Amino acid sequence: MNRVTWTQIRAIVRIEMKKTFFAKRGLWIYLLALAPVALFLTHSLVEIHQHGARRQMALKNGRPLTERDFLAIAAGMSRDEVTARLGDPPVSRSRTRRVRTGRNSFSAVSLETLRYSDGNNELVLTLKEGRVTGIGRVSGISLGQDSYVFAGVFQFFFIRLAIFFGCLGIFMNLFRGEMLDKSLHFYLLTPVRREILMLGKYLAGLLAATVIFSASTALQLFALMLQFDASTVAQYLDQNHGISQMAAYLGVTVLACIGYGSIFLAAGLLFRNPIVPAAAVLIWEAANPVLPALLKKFSVIYYLKSLCPVEISLDPGMPPLFALLASNPEPVSRYIAIFGLLALSVVVLLAASRRVRRLEINYATD
Amino acid sequence: MSDRIVFDNVSKFYGDVLGVNRVSLSIPPGITSLVGPNGSGKTTLMNLMSGLIRPSRGHIRIVDLTPDQPEQLFHLVGYCSQYDSLPKGLTGYQFVHSYLRLYGYDRVKSEELAWSAIDRVGLREAAHRKAAGYSKGMRQRIRLAQSLAHNPRVLVLDEPLNGLDPLVRAETIALFRGLAKEGCHVILSSHVLHEVDIISDQVILMSGGYVAAEGNIQGVRSEIEDHPMQILIRCDRPSELAARFFGEDHVVEVKLHNDRRGLLVKTRDPNRFYLLMNRVALDGFAVESVAPCDDDVNSVYEYLIGTEEATR
């Protein structure tokens, strides 16, 4: 590429950025990207509040409690046994309920709820007539558990829906939107090779998608970490591969934008109605685990799943659709996944460049 | 090296719909007007010239280049299309400047060319306003500025005078004349026939996707043999002269002018008529002027394409 070509690409990117970042019709893409941020932020704020309440409860305990103390409580134990083991409950609530014992006879049953906390987890005991009948555990904040939830949201919602539809909105509009606005001809009347025009537009779309969705990924991780103290976060980052996991999530985000971007740019050149390619690609991506081995490779999610740092385990109780989406029967190595996805994107872009070379302006029929 | 725009047996079909059919043209530099009713193929011809669409058959050459060579062609060609739309979010200046960068000019050169073009269309004061808020005439002018900012040798303009007020219209016509004088091709389509008449060096009359006639307007008129030419004669004794003309077999109609100071004569043979006029002058008639009065675009258009389709 010579200097003029670079100047042209930069000029196209500059024109497109204004349209992509500040378009009113693109507002929903920002909302889509920010939805999981809002989810994790809300979760963290709720956890921070509840964690504070549990710590207060723990301070009211007669003595400090541990996980072992909680595990020692079993159904059938008397209230005295419980208090002997855990001390006086910091929170208790008792009430009496009338229970029918015969046609016209009732008896009063005393019920009591005891709550203990070790400062993080909560133990809720239900006593009936002074005996433990129900044991409830409310787990406190756990980075391990939350990072697993994050992995689920990232794979099921963020990649498959947010980035997918975000890229649909950004990349399909690069050509199709200008045909609808009747302004594409301005580009086609300049001394720019059509392939260079397509490349410039793709890079502009990629820049926009990457900035929006990578920022979203970073904000999601930040929102998730917000509930933990600095030492827990430092430990996660230093000792539990936290930095490599975060880098992997950001990398997968960028690669998802590259892959879906190329597909929807090509779709924008081939289809008038975005619903058709969106539905087709969505189904194709969802059906990836059951496709033949060769066809699997023509899918973006096939490569992305192998790059996600936390694998979603297939629990027996998982709904079939989620089980299908989570399954990854043929994972590939990181390098093959990256190279494969980039190669797939290049192939799609080459096919799109053939289409753009033969593109004619006939707004009346578009 | 040819300086012509050549269409060689060019046809364009949109599916089953005819755009243009078997068009062969050789357009020299100067102002060339495409005239024809809606759907006659004017815009198709212009889009073919600029490579926005491709011919179904035939070949097009624009001053030795083909529309398949955008890298070279669009340094040479500027096209102001009929689409009244502008890219979103840009000011008038940004619109002209941004697209100039695509020509490979650096920032300084692009700025210089952009302001020069904006000045040519008289939009400097509004240049930093969002183009979306421009009036129709201003949008037309900024699109015109964008199409001529890189100083093309071939300027293709689809209905360029639409929406312009009389003053700007006159200035724009002067601009076209200036460009034509510099040796540029200015190819425009218009429905305003009297303006076409005034500014065009040659016309191409289109009808139903075919070229009905082409060339300078007088030449086209003289080629229409089956339609008598109308000539206005200003003289001192119009009634006597009328009686004299009735004896000539090539004269098909003689009418006294409304002001009774002249005659309108229709003749099938203008050459014989002008010879006759020489004899008339020798016979003592004081002839002030003899001028054809139907060799303008409007008349030719009516003769060739039909009165019902003539816009004026």
pLDDT attached to residue B222: 67
In the predicted structure, residue B310 carries a pLDDT above the cut 50: no
Domain boundaries along the sequence of chain A = 3-49+142-357, 55-138
What CA–CA distance (Å, rounded) separates A63 from A58?
8
Flag whether residue A101 sits within 8 Å of chain B, measured between CB atoms.
no
CATH dotted code for B222-309? 3.30.70.100
Flag whether residue B98 sits within 8 Å of chain A, measured between CB atoms.
yes
> How far B15 CA lies from chain A's nearest CA (Å)?
11
Domain A55-138 matching CATH 3.30.1370.60: the answer reads no
Flag whether residue B88 sits within 8 Å of chain A, measured between CB atoms.
yes
Domain boundaries along the sequence of chain B = 5-215, 222-309
Which among B47, B99, B106 is the nearest to A361, CB-wise?
A: B47
What CA–CA distance (Å, rounded) separates B263 from B247?
15
Q: What value does the mean pLDDT take over residues A208-230?
A: 93
- Predicted TM-score (pTM) of the model is 0.81
Determine whether the interchain pair B52/A183 forms a contact, defined as Cβ–Cβ distance below 8 Å.
Answer: no
Strand partners, B7: B25, B60
What CA–CA distance (Å, rounded) separates B156 from B139?
17
Are the C-beta atoms of residues B51 and B68 closer than 8 Å to each other?
A: yes
Residue B284, by phi and psi: left (phi above 0), alpha (psi -120 to 50) or beta?
Answer: left
In the predicted structure, residue B311 carries a pLDDT above the cut 60: no
What percentage of chain B reaches a pLDDT higher than 70? 92
Flag whether residue B230 sits within 8 Å of chain A, measured between CB atoms.
no
Most distant pair of Cα atoms in chain B: their distance? 75
The residue with greater pLDDT, A100 or A360, is: A360
Residues of chain A found within 8 Å of residue B101, distances taken between Cβ atoms? 7-8, 10-11, 14
Say if residue A134 is exposed, middle or buried (CB neighbours under 10 Å; 0-12, 13-18, 19+). Answer: exposed
pLDDT attached to residue A319: 76
* Range of A143-147, B56-60, B191-195 with top mean pLDDT: B56-60
Closest CA to A131 of A100, A108, A110, A107: A110
Which among B50, B88, B102 is the nearest to A11, CB-wise?
A: B102
pLDDT attached to residue B1: 65
Determine whether the interchain pair B103/A189 forms a contact, defined as Cβ–Cβ distance below 8 Å.
Answer: no
Architecture of the B5-215 domain: 3-Layer(aba) Sandwich (3.40)
In the predicted structure, residue A296 carries a pLDDT above the cut 60: yes
CB-based contacts of A63-67 (< 8 A; 24+ apart in sequence): A63/A87, A64/A118, A64/A119, A65/A116, A65/A117, A65/A118, A66/A118, A67/A118, A67/A121
Helix axis angle for A230-239 and A143-152, nearest 10°, is 70
Determine whether the interchain pair A181/B85 forms a contact, defined as Cβ–Cβ distance below 8 Å.
Answer: yes
Q: pLDDT tens digits, residue range A100-132?
A: 877 778 888 889 999 888 888 888 999 988 899
Flag whether residue B14 sits within 8 Å of chain A, measured between CB atoms.
yes
User: Residue B312 — pLDDT band, cuts 50, 70, 90?
Assistant: very low
* Range of A261-270, B85-94, B263-272 with top mean pLDDT: A261-270
The mean of the pLDDT values for chain B is: 86
In the predicted structure, residue A210 carries a pLDDT above the cut 80: yes
Flag whether residue A25 sits within 8 Å of chain B, measured between CB atoms.
no
- Within 13 Å and on the Cβ side, how many CA atoms surround A323? 7
What CA–CA distance (Å, rounded) separates B101 from A342?
30
Determine whether the interchain pair B102/A18 forms a contact, defined as Cβ–Cβ distance below 8 Å.
Answer: no
Cα of A67 vs its chain's centroid, Å: 31
> How far B109 CA lies from chain A's nearest CA (Å)?
13
In the predicted structure, residue B11 carries a pLDDT above the cut 50: yes
The mean of the pLDDT values for chain A is: 88
Flag whether residue B91 sits within 8 Å of chain A, measured between CB atoms.
no
In the predicted structure, residue A167 carries a pLDDT above the cut 70: yes
